[in-house]
Structure formats: C-alpha cells, structure tokens
Structure 1
C-alpha cells in the first residue's frame, strides 16, 4: 500500500516536468510503473494469519530520473518468493491471489480456455486453506490484473500464456503419480 503511494507520488512529480510519451500499445512510463503493482500483487501476495494482502516476496524498485527531473526509466527486482505456498497453505491462509482471481469468473473465457471450473475445491493446491477473503473482491482484482498486463504492454498471446501457466499449476496439483513396477520387483 505504501509502496504504491510512494510510486504514485514520484510518478506524478516526474510527469509534471513534461509531457508523457505514450506508446500506442501500452501506457505511459508513469502508468506502467504504477500498474506493475497489481500484476506483482496478483502473483506474489496472499492471505496470511495477520494480513489479507500480505506480500510473500521482496521487491526493490529503482526509479531513474533524467537531468530535467523527468521520469526516465524504472526497474523492479523481485526476490525471496515464498514458493512453498504454491503447493501448501495453512488452514487460515490462502494461496496467491491470481488463482482465485481467475476462478472468480470475471472473465469466463479464461475458465473455458484453461479447462477449469470456478470451484476452488476442485483444485488441491489452492483449497487447503481459505478460498475467500472478505476484504478482497477477486473479480475486481482480476480485471485490475488484466488491465495492468495491457498497460505494461503484454500482447494478447503473452497474457494468455501467463493465464495458461497459472491454470496448468492448478491442474498439476491434481495429478497423481504412480510408480510402475519393474518385472524383477516382487509384488
């Protein structure tokens, strides 16, 4: 929350220094910096015991200004993602928000494309803990995440690739592996 406000402040100060260039396929640099947050939060934030929107990774944001004080570029480094959360959550916690955003049915075409239902209990990786959070509207958050991808310049194919990988993780959690017996093994 504070990160977003600081970035918005710097972006607005820098934008006041001159006209913002907008690429025809994506938002201004200022918009991109601000919209990186919903995308990062979708894939890196989850409900914990103490916080409904807890960041489960670290991020280092570097904002570069030109000599005139105008925003020139930015980069974000992420680190220490809590990878184990993808496959296991405590009862009172929840997996990463993106899974529940997709299941919210705000974009029903995603459910069809990913061959998934909107029932989180159909997917073992995401139903070990809480599946809903009163303070989070997963439908609205999916639309914000999807819009963030557009502002960041993702092509439709790139967006679908991200969603397909996320859906594949849900399917993968339901796979059962069985070791095949060798002929020389006793039964």
Structure 2
C-alpha cells in the first residue's frame, strides 16, 4: 500500500515549472478574499525567488509569504468575504470533504465565514476547489498532508462556533456546550477537554513562573 501511495504521489507531482505556476492557486485559496474593491484581493505579501543553474536552466525556487491579514479569519465587513478556501470546501465539488470535516454545505452555519458575503458572482468556488486540490498534488503534497490542511481549515470553522458563558458569582468563563469544541479538537488531533481548559484557564508568565488564570 505504501508503494502504491508513493507511486501515485510521484505521478501527480509536476515539473519544477509546473510547481511554480501551481503554487499560485494554492496561495490564493488561503490568502485571497473578496474586499470592497476587488473580488480576488491578495491579503498577504509574497516574494518569489527563482534560481538558475550555470547552464541557465531553472534549478529551484522558493516563495516567502508575509503580512497575512489574520484578522479576516474571524471578522469581515458586510460587503467582504473570508478567505476563498472556506467557501471552496463548502461546495459539493469534493463531497467527501464535508463528511471528513464534519461540516454542512451552508456557510451560515459558521459564524467566522458568514459575517459578510458568502458568494462572489465572478468566482466559481466549485471549480476553484478542484484547482486548489490539483495544485496540492502538483506541488507534491502527500494525501495525508493535503488532508491535514483541509482538517485545519475545517477546525477553524468549528472553532468560531464555540460559545462561552460567565460562571455564576465568578469572573471566569466556562464552555456553553462542547459540540463545536469537540469537532474542532478532533480535526486538530487534540483532546477537547484540554483545548477548552487552555481557552478558559490560559497560562500566563509572571516573572519567571507561569500562572494558570
């Protein structure tokens, strides 16, 4: 089975030229979003460095990314949208993802991705998901690596649905239900109770020691 998986990976992996080109759909899925002025606005910076050998032939390349607009993951203006990947996953282009990520195909079920627009007329999210998935293959991602990326994306969606309430007579928050936390933790490979404990009782450094709130 291991040999078959390796063969499949190698057969899907593209040439260096293909990989440089296909890095773009993957980066745009996770780093581009609809803004007020642009349906496909890049919300990060990138620097592409291409290396050539002594013969002038392309030998390698690397891409550095920086300044991702992290706040967009949790908040969007009404006329804007979160990063494209969330809406790509919710399409039925790869229905197995919905089951694997324990999600529905309704963006309004997830607060992190439904504060603004959920569709963009100029973008076909179904086609874009297939392009993103193919880009991972060309870039040489293993099936496990690819699924790991999707799982973390799904975990963020569930993470935004976690609710907390104030403990009676205490200045302390406690979980208001654990369903969303259970799903998010499962997809991240964490223990749900440990995740909630970390959120409700964070450790802070005081002097040279750590104190649990």
TM value normalised by structure 1: 0.84
Pair 30,127 (structure 1): closer, same or farther in 2 beyond 3 Å: same
1-structure distance, mates of 2:12, 2:134: 12
**Per-residue deviation, 1:180:** 3.2
Shift of 1:20: 18
Structure 1 residues 86 and 22: CA distance shift in structure 2, 3 A: closer
- Residue 177 of structure 1 deviates from its aligned partner by 1.7
Name the CA distance, whole Å, in 1 between partners of 2:113 and 2:142.
28
Aligned to 1:111: 98
**2 CA distance for matches of 1:19 and 1:116?**
30
- Partners of 2:9 and 2:142 within 8 A in 1: no
Quick check: 138-147 or 63-72, which moved more?
63-72
**CA pair 15-174 structure 1, distance change in 2 beyond 3 A:** closer
Could you give the per-residue CA deviations for residues 28-76 of structure 1, whole angstroms, max 9, x where no partner exists?
A: 1111110000000000000000000000000000011111111010000
Q: Give yes or no for the alignment of 1:57 onto 2:44.
A: yes
Q: Unpaired runs of 5+ in structure 1?
A: 1-13
- C-alpha separation between the residues in 2 aligned to 1:45 and 1:119? 21
- Relative to the length of structure 2, the TM-score reads 0.74
Partner residue of 1:120? 107
Higher RCO, Cα 8 Å, sep 6+:
1
Please say which of residues 146-155 and 20-29 is displaced more in the overlay: 20-29
Aligned-partner SS, 1:94: coil
- The Cα shift of 1:181 comes to 4.2
CA drift of 1:25 comes to 5.2
Measure how far apart 1:104 and its partner are. Answer: 1.1
Q: Per residue, is there more strand in 1 or in 2?
A: 2
Check the 8 A contact 1:44/1:96 in 2, yes or no. yes
Q: Contact 1:15–1:30 (CA<8 Å) still a contact in 2?
A: no
Aligned length: 174
Contact 2:46 2:63 in 1 (8 A): yes
Q: 1:97 to 1:89 in 2, by over 3 A?
A: same
Alignment CA distance shift 1:184-1:140 (3 Å): closer
Uncovered stretches (5+) of structure 2, i.e. residues with no partner: 173-211
